A and B are shown apart, each in its own frame.
Chain A
Amino acid sequence: EPEVTQTPSHQVTQMGQEVILRCVPISNHLYFYWYRQILGQKVEFLVSFYNNEISEKSEIFDDQFSVERPDGSNFTLKIRSTKLEDSAMYFCASSDPGDYGYTFGSGTRLTVV
């Protein structure tokens, strides 16, 4: 069964450092998303991406965040200057047009120290 692949599974970074989280969505999907889940909290929407541009973004997705699809297969989330409160599980997801059932990856656990 096709799956969304995320790397790394766990990343530890120092406050103020830049991190890039990587995702390989399902190959024939056209919509890509990033969500995050702070420990013990809800899964929260960050951003959606279609046709090489952002479709929607939440209030969380401020100037410190950016997304990119650098080639035909990868989808990345960059956090420019990490804060302690950025520590969370970050999930990438992808979907078909009109498909409300995303496929999520297993997530990257980001720990900012």
Chain B
Amino acid sequence: QKEVEQDPGPLSVPEGAIVSLNCTYSNSAFQYFMWYRQYSRKGPELLMYTYSSGNKEDGRFTAQVDKSSKYISLFIRDSQPSDSATYLCAMSANSGAGSYQLTFGKGTKLSVIP
């Protein structure tokens, strides 16, 4: 069983739509959950991170974590063409080594059509 699973899409939505992106995971030790956005041939850019279960909101973006279901989501409200990118979920357990190894999903490619 893969540690982090993410539907690669592609996902195409009209401008203004609400977008829902999801990941599931199998490792119960994961405590920190992140969403990154990656444009073509660029490095991942951190959008949001959350610790343990719950919701976190930042502007048009909301991240949700359900540790009981091992399921995380990213919602994008009022989606814009500039949101078109690949969205990567990433997770980390506290390694205790002082640095934090991230385990990524494969990424979901999103296109927002004007």
A interface with B by C-beta (< 8 Å): 4, 31, 33, 35, 41-45, 48-50, 55-56, 58, 89, 91, 93, 95, 97, 100-107, 109
Q: Chain B nearest CB: distance from A70 CB in Å?
A: 20
Dominant SS among interface residues on chain A? strand
Q: How many residues of B contact A (CB 8 A)?
A: 26
Q: Are A42 and B104 closer than 8 Å at their CB atoms? A: yes
Q: How many A-B residue pairs have CB under 8 A?
A: 66
Measured in the bound complex, the distance between the Cα atoms of B99 and A39 in whole Å is 26
Known A100-B32, A101-B49; judge A43-B44 contact (CB<8 A). Answer: yes
- B110 contacts the other chain (CB 8 A): no
13 pairs of residues in contact across A and B, judged by CB atoms under 8 Å: A42-B104, A43-B88, A45-B103, A48-B100, A55-B98, A58-B101, A93-B43, A100-B100, A101-B34, A103-B46, A106-B43, A107-B41, A107-B43
Q: Chain A nearest CB: distance from B46 CB in Å?
A: 4
Chain A residues with CB under 8 A of B45: 104
- B106 contacts the other chain (CB 8 A): yes
